[in-house]
Amino acid sequence: MVLAKHRVKQNGIFYCIPDDELYSLYRNREAFIDKYGRLINSKTKRVIKELEQSADDRPIYVLPPQEDHPIRDAVVSKVTDVVVDTIVYDVMPKIWSYILEPKIKRIYHSVISGKKTKAETIIEKERPAKRVSTAQLVRKTETEKQEKSKMTEEEIIAVQKSAITHYIGLLEDLRTLHDAGVIDDVSKTLEQLTNPATIEQFNQALSSNPNLLEMKQHIKVTTLLGRDLFQNGIYVPLQQEEIKLLVK
């Protein structure tokens, strides 16, 4: 009669239980394996069997060291420049022109127009005012916004999300490539990423609409900066020095 051998893994080590009878004791918790690799009777605490041991037999893969590739480095640098230029000189200005600037102007005008003199308040009470519902005001605001911009609200949000995703992706790529030794001189790329106008537009976009930042990007930025972008629900602006520290 051939008795089956059973392999049991415990604490990352495989133990060989030589037959079905001993394995039945182990399976029914009538015996256990101690830290010395012995099968112990649960009731009497006596050693039943010294078990053979083996480490985890999964294969270990060792990656070869990364080689220098001047052509690849040049391509990576060129692609980075193109993407950064697109964000800085194309995407971010559109966000500023179509979304942030009109919103700031509306807020400014609403604050100025909200300050009325005492005489104006009395006159307004004396004459019947034409009442406009909140829904009409919302529709009017949306109409004015669409007249000023040829982009729809969905397109604007999509552009914002795309710009923020690209910028965060560039920060992550810059850190990864620098740590891997692929890029030695990051001064030019760093100068573009820390451009005051770029950072200001990034900060204004997120402070006005935190929902533009998806969970994945939020986790990436938190990991890169070592801090959360929001404290008690308030956006904490990104700083130039924080970006420079990514490649120190």
Domain definitions of the chain by residue range: 6-55, 70-100+148-247
40-96 pLDDT per residue, tens: 999 999 999 999 887 655 554 444 566 667 787 777 777 788 788 888 777 888 787
Mean pLDDT of the region 180-196: 75
Q: Is the pTM of this model over 0.85?
A: no
| Exposed/middle/buried for residue 181 (C-beta within 10 Å: 0-12, 13-18, 19+) | exposed
Contact 85/192 with Cβ under 8 angstroms? yes
1-23 pLDDT per residue, tens: 446 788 898 888 899 998 999 99
Q: At residue 236, does pLDDT exceed 90?
A: no
Please count the other Cβ atoms lying within 10 Å of the Cβ belonging to residue 157: 15
What is the model's pLDDT at position 88? 77
Q: Which two tokens stand for residue 69?
A: 């590739």
Mean pLDDT of the region 181-209: 79
What is the model's pLDDT at position 40? 93
